[in-house]
Amino acid sequence: SFQAHQKMTKKIHATVPPAIARSDFARDFLWGCSTSSYQIEGGAAEGGRVESIWDRFCERPGAIRDGSSGAVACDHYHRWPEDLDIGRDLGLNAYRFSVARPRIIKGPGARPNPQGLAFYSRLVDGMLERGLEPWLTLYHWDLPQYLQDQGGWNERATAYAFADFADAVSAHLGDRVKHWITHNEPWCTAIHGHFEGVHAPGIQDFRTALQVSHHVLLSHGLALPAIRANVPDAQVGIALSLHPLTAASGKPEDIAACARHDGLRNRWFLDPLHGRGYPADILDLCAADAPVVLPGDLDAIAAPTDFLGVNYYFPEIIEHAPGAAPLEARVVPREGVPRTAFGWEVSPEGLGALIRRIEADYDPGPIYITENGSTWEDTVGDDGEIDDRERRDYLASHLAALRDTIAGGSRVKGYFAWSLLDNFEWAEGYLRRFGLTHVDFETQQRRLKGSGKWYRAFLKQEEDAQ
Ligand code: FCB
């Protein structure tokens, strides 16, 4: 569990970041930062925005560790020009954001809300003016509450409604937005949201979680043709949270447990997206909990995409755990390794291992690292500086691993750091900071951290060399 991990958390001693240069990467490599709507926007009651499942979930006592919500967050809804300036000044050439569906579709069957569309239209123009290629995510977990009231992602109708939403947004922004991500981390939507209940909508039922995962994947498949019809030159993909896994020992039961865990964490999503349907071993084990899949669904899900988005944070060690739901497998902390303040193992080599495994097993075409980052106990010094050398070293060492993996033949075309700003970190509220930019949530002041300054210097190298 995270708690067990947290007990083992130790600050890693800062080292010199590995020697790495922007010129080690291709000229057209994309350098970005990622954010998401609910985590940064605030402006919860503005522009005709309706309630999302996260607004509702945050009201639940104990759901969010500091009792907070995203109602104000980074106030990006008002401060977006300043935030995009930060991205430009870093030297980014791409920026990944998400569209809050509660700003766009205010009720069942409603026409798109012009105020919501206008907000994102201004935001996209702001990116283009600053040389930031917009990478738009359609769903980063903020479902409108009215859809949850009708059953949410457990209902097939929610997948159809998502295609309508994708149509509305792509019709409006597709003249300027060419890179589209349907979903962010369907595993989290399904498992955190509907099995563990630690994310909105806070349901704890494995059968529901599996049905949700299917409807989310189906909605991805239904959104693809809608986006392509509106944006013929669109590049469309999905962003998955994926983990390199190792069995805790050479014992057959640990090896089998690791394969099961992989089945739900990784293969459950990668297999159907690559035309293989759901993994048979997991379907067998889930038996009565298996999702209802209608004829044609798997074909829709397997429609070709243009890239795979990989969100990478940490590897996992897996041991056999008799009786542990849902698959009798458990994550055990690896001893003697550095961990972030979240307890997540720091493993740049895990990034390379993950990419090589995905390419060997699925040959997905171009890969973009759509998220990667770390959280630490940041402190603002008397001089106003945030000396977050652990985050700097995390970033630098993962970029070095990426460079080496690409040198080995991998087709990775871009990297988006999570995140541009400290923000509302879901169930952890404002207690976990992931930003390259520090946000004072009292004053909304932004300050570039040491890690941000390092990224800026790294990104400026090529400009200087030209
Ligand atoms: C990912 C989420 C992102 C952020 C990071 C830390 O799972 O996609 O919103 O919370 O973790």
Q: Is the dihedral of CA 260, 257, 319, 274 positive or negative?
A: negative
Specify the ligand 1 atom closest to the Cα of 188: 7
Residues lining ligand 1, CB < 6 A?
36, 39, 184-185, 188, 241, 311, 371, 418, 425-426, 434
- β partners of residue 239: 184, 309
Instruction: Summarize pLDDT for 315-341 with one digit per residue, the tens.
Output: 999 999 999 999 999 999 999 999 999
Bond preceding residue 81 cis, omega within 30 of 0: no
Query: pTM (2 decimals)?
Result: 0.96
Q: Supply the pLDDT for residue 415.
A: 99
Q: How many C-beta atoms lie closer than 10 Å to residue 5's C-beta?
A: 18
CA 340 – ligand 1 centroid, Å: 14
Cα dihedral angle (181, 182, 184, 188), rounded to 10 degrees? -160
Distance CA 225, CA 160 (A): 12
Burial of 40 (0-12, 13-18, 19+ CB in 10 A): buried
Average pLDDT over residues 14-43: 92
Q: Supply the pLDDT for residue 242.
A: 98
Q: Supply the pLDDT for residue 16.
A: 66
Q: Find out whether 372 and 313 touch, Cβ atoms under 8 Å.
A: yes
Tokens (6 digits) for 137: 């995510």
Q: Supply the pLDDT for residue 463.
A: 56
Measure CA 100 to chain center.
15
Q: How many C-beta atoms lie closer than 10 Å to residue 252's C-beta?
A: 10
Binned at pLDDT 50, 70 and 90, residue 464 comes out as low
Protein residue whose Cα sits closest to atom 4 of ligand 1: 425
- For 240, the 3-state DSSP assignment is strand
Q: Supply the pLDDT for residue 15.
A: 57
Tokens (6 digits) for 207: 């059968």
Catalytically annotated residues: 185, 371
Instruction: Summarize pLDDT for 208-227 with one digit per residue, the tens.
Output: 999 999 999 999 999 999 99
Average pLDDT over residues 389-398: 98
CA 287 – ligand 1 centroid, Å: 30
- β partners of residue 309: 239, 368
**Cβ-based neighbours of 266, under 8 Å, separated by 6 or more:** 240, 242, 243, 245
Q: Find out whether 399 and 461 touch, Cβ atoms under 8 Å.
A: no
**Cβ-based neighbours of 117, under 8 Å, separated by 6 or more:** 104, 168, 169, 172, 173
Tell me the residue length of the chain: 466
- The values of phi and psi at residue 117, to 5°, are -60, -40
Distance CA 212, CA 255 (A): 28
CA 39 – ligand 1 centroid, Å: 9
